[in-house]
Amino acid sequence: MTRRREPTAGSFHFVCILAFIVGIMIQFSDERESAVDYSNRNLTRVPKDLPPGTKSLNLSQNSIPELQMSDVRFLPELRALRLSHNRIQRLDFGVFKFSPNLEYLDVSHNQLRNIFGCPAVSLKHLDLSFNDFDVLPVYKEFANLTHLSFLGLSATKFRQLDLLPIAHLHLNYILLDLVGYHVKDVEYLNIYNLTITESINHEEFIYSETALKALTIEHVTNQVFIFAKEALYSVFVDMNIRMLTISYTPFIHMLCPHFPSKFTFLNFTQNVFTDSVFQGCSTLGKLETLILQKNSLKNLSMVGLMTKNMFSLETLDVSLNSLDSHAYEGTCTWAESISVLNLSSNVLTDSVFRCLPPKVKVLDLHNNRIMSIPKDITYLQDLQELNVASNSLTDLPGCGAFSILSVLIIEHNLVSHPSVDFFQSCQKIRSLTAGNNPFRCTCELREFVKNIGHISGDVVEGWPDAYRCGSPESAKGTPLQDFHMSPLSCDTVLLIVTVGATLLGLVAIMAFLCLYFDLPWYLRMMCQWTQTRHRARNIPEEELQRKLQFHAFVSYSEHDSTWVKNELLPNLEKDGIQICLHERNFIPGKSIVENIIHFIEKSYKSIFVLSPHFIQSEWCHYELYFAHHNLFHEGSDNLILVLLEPIQQDNIPSRYHKLRALMTQRTYLEWPAEKSKRGLFWANLRASFSTKLILVHEEDMGT
Ligand SMILES: *[C@@H]1O[C@H](CO)[C@@H](O)[C@H](O)[C@H]1NC(C)=O
Ligand SMILES: *[C@@H]1O[C@H](CO)[C@@H](O)[C@H](O)[C@H]1NC(C)=O
């Protein structure tokens, strides 16, 4: 940074220079012999006897008032011309028409008010700074200077649009010398990529009235290794302006202003300031906003102490530091005026809540290490907005401590089963952001989901997408909105009562069915029917190869013949089942037993209509036969027993071993007394004949 002293007392002189001098890169390697130095010779005109091969000409520190074409016309090799510190008032770039290689032209520190003509396109370095231009000497012909890397300019009036013609050029350095007789055109000045190349002496700077309101300096590089840092810091901090931004610099400190300062806004984002900054400083009484984002602050109570005398401070941003809240002794001191405090992205823990400005309204604590918010905090009664996102909180805070809280951001924490108090105690809440927490979707969460679903509308931010179950594994990822637990699975008493009632009901229904509809009978019949059908479908091969004349041989007592003729025959024969009755089919001349044996063998099944009469009168014919004939061996299916009337075991004569055995081993079909049951009875009986059999006639059999 360079400086210039204002000679006229009382008038304002503000110099702000981006001085970045100039590792000029032009190589003058083979040019030593063609370099001509006429500097500091009191010349009033350009000498005429210059060697025509001159490549570099130094005419600085003379009194030359003018440059004409004839002065340089015979120097076609000219590459560098230094004319600084002369008395030139106007310059026509046309004079260099015959020097097509001109790369370096320094006309700084003259009295230039006018320039015109087309500057040579070959120019790399053009210095017009420290002259008497009113407005910046940049016009549209400058747009073609594509090789230019350094441009020095000066003006008393500065308008941003003046730089438009060169806005597209890739200049490495621009030197802007604003000699501010009329600097009241300049209110906001932004400087980027400042390089400090000269050390600074504080006394050289004089600030009095200025129209400048805001100065922004970003990205400072320091090329001076040993310099009085204090002086540099004073230059900035004693500036007579309202807003100052110095960011992205290697500065490690900033001084307290030496006099009560006009600053209302200070932004020191991304420097290397430490806790000692502004400690004990009482000259920043007008400061309203202080931004110390991304520095090296460590101790929160020191930050509080720093603000002690900043009576107007409203907004303090100390985010992105390394602030730690180790246990505080006693209370922290803060400026009472602070209402917005940004403490985000530090390493603060729960104890931060014991060291906060008492009147704070907006508190940003996101991205810290807070695990819980102490319940006994009572002094933050003005808190309206609290951001504790990206911490390690496991529950929502109640609003007991912050009675007028209206905005709560608590996303990205570890809240798994939030307590429902929140909705009761935080009546003023108008925005809740609680998504991206690992909600545990169990019975306990139902109340919360109900509450949150109730108020969701505009209040719950990110609902429903950001609110999902984190556990149990089976529910992971399910939106809370779609998470339902039946009341039954969540309430043991209800569950027991319900299961009990259901069982009772079932028992009652069963009892009713048994009592009034003889359910067991139906079940037994259905079961038999199923088995019979199943068996009928899997008839053994040898069975089918028997030569059969009838589907069934029916054996019954004379006493039951009415039933056989009126019930059995019509019901079976209507389905095409061929029945053999002894009265109808028996062959005369053969004995009863011979007949029986004959027809049993010619029939697919044998139906015995059992009744006390049958046992008494008919069974004797069969007992012997059954004992010897393997057609009715154990497990054979050929026998169908129909129980027409109940028979007591005791009533079966003891010599009928086979009958006794059959009655205990086999299932028999009972003829139901109720008409309604008879359909099933017949179905059951017919099921035995559901196979298609090919019957032969007796005549055919004889052959
Ligand atoms: C820039 O150069 C081109 C050709 O070299 C010329 O046509 C144009 O007029 C020049 N522009 C200015 C603004 O001088
Ligand atoms: C706090 O600072 C962080 C960045 O450092 C920013 O993202 C956030 O918006 C700030 N909070 C408030 C309330 O201004």
pLDDT in tens, 581-608: 877 777 888 877 788 778 888 888 888 8
| Domain encompassing residue 610 | 541-701
Which residue, judged by its Cα, is nearest atom 4 of ligand 2? Answer: 319
Q: Are residues 497 and 638 in the same domain?
A: no
* Residue 79 within a domain: yes
Q: Are residues 504 and 625 in the same domain?
A: no
In angstroms, the CA 44 to CA 585 distance is: 162
End-to-end CA distance of the chain: 138
Ligand 2 centroid–CA 537 distance in Å is: 82
Amino acid 703: pLDDT? 37
Amino acid code (one letter) for 637: D
- Is the Cβ atom of 170 under 6 angstroms away from ligand 1? no
Ligand 1 centroid–CA 118 distance in Å is: 9
- Is the Cβ atom of 165 under 6 angstroms away from ligand 1? no
Which domain CATH number covers 624? 3.40.50.10140
Which domain CATH number covers 40? 3.80.10.10
pLDDT over 90, % of the chain: 35
pLDDT bin (cut points 50, 70, 90) of residue 17 is: very low
Q: pLDDT digit string (tens) for 296-316?
A: 999 999 999 999 999 999 999
* Residue 215 within a domain: no
pTM above 0.75, yes or no: no
- Is the Cβ atom of 299 under 6 angstroms away from ligand 2? no
Q: In which residue are the tokens 């007579």 written?
A: 240
pLDDT over 70, % of the chain: 84
Q: Are residues 127 and 32 in the same domain?
A: yes
Domain C-terminal end among 185, 215, 245:
185
Q: What are the residues facing 127 on neighbouring strands? A: 106, 152
* Residue 663 within a domain: yes
Q: What are the residues facing 82 on neighbouring strands? A: 58, 106
Coil, strand, or helix at residue 9?
A: coil
Q: Are residues 121 and 14 in the same domain?
A: yes
Q: Which ligand is nearest to the CA of 343?
A: 2
Q: Are residues 508 and 624 in the same domain?
A: no
**Domain total for the chain?**
3
Longest dimension (CA), the chain: 172
- Is the Cβ atom of 216 under 6 angstroms away from ligand 1? no
Which residue, judged by its Cα, is nearest atom 10 of ligand 2? Answer: 342
Domain C-terminal end among 185, 216, 231:
185
Ramachandran class of 649: left when φ > 0, alpha when ψ lies in -120 to 50, beta otherwise? alpha
Which residue, judged by its Cα, is nearest atom 6 of ligand 1? Answer: 144
Q: Are residues 554 and 638 in the same domain?
A: yes
* Residue 464 within a domain: no
DSSP per residue, 414-433: --SS--THHHHH-TT--EEE
Q: Are residues 507 and 546 in the same domain?
A: no
Q: Are residues 632 and 578 in the same domain?
A: yes
Domain C-terminal end among 185, 203, 235:
185
* Residue 84 within a domain: yes
pLDDT bin (cut points 50, 70, 90) of residue 700 is: low
Q: Are residues 506 and 549 in the same domain?
A: no
Amino acid 635: pLDDT? 57
Q: Are residues 30 and 143 in the same domain?
A: yes
Which is more confidently placed, 214 or 698? 214
Amino acid 433: pLDDT? 93
Q: Are residues 545 and 513 in the same domain?
A: no
Q: pLDDT digit string (tens) for 59-103?
A: 999 999 999 999 998 899 999 999 999 999 999 999 999 999 999
pLDDT (mean) for 541-546? 66
Which is more confidently placed, 361 or 675? 361
Q: Which of 38-52, 176-190, 606-620 has the lowest mean pLDDT?
A: 176-190
In angstroms, the CA 37 to CA 58 distance is: 5
DSSP per residue, 508-544: HHHHHHHHHH-HHHHHHHHHHHHHHHHHHHT--HHHH
| Cβ neighbours of residue 319 closer than 8 Å, sequence gap 6 or more | 293, 294, 342, 343, 344, 345, 346, 364
pLDDT bin (cut points 50, 70, 90) of residue 203 is: very low
* Residue 43 within a domain: yes
Amino acid 18: pLDDT? 36
Q: Which ligand is nearest to the CA of 166?
A: 1
Q: Are residues 53 and 130 in the same domain?
A: yes
Ramachandran class of 413: left when φ > 0, alpha when ψ lies in -120 to 50, beta otherwise? beta
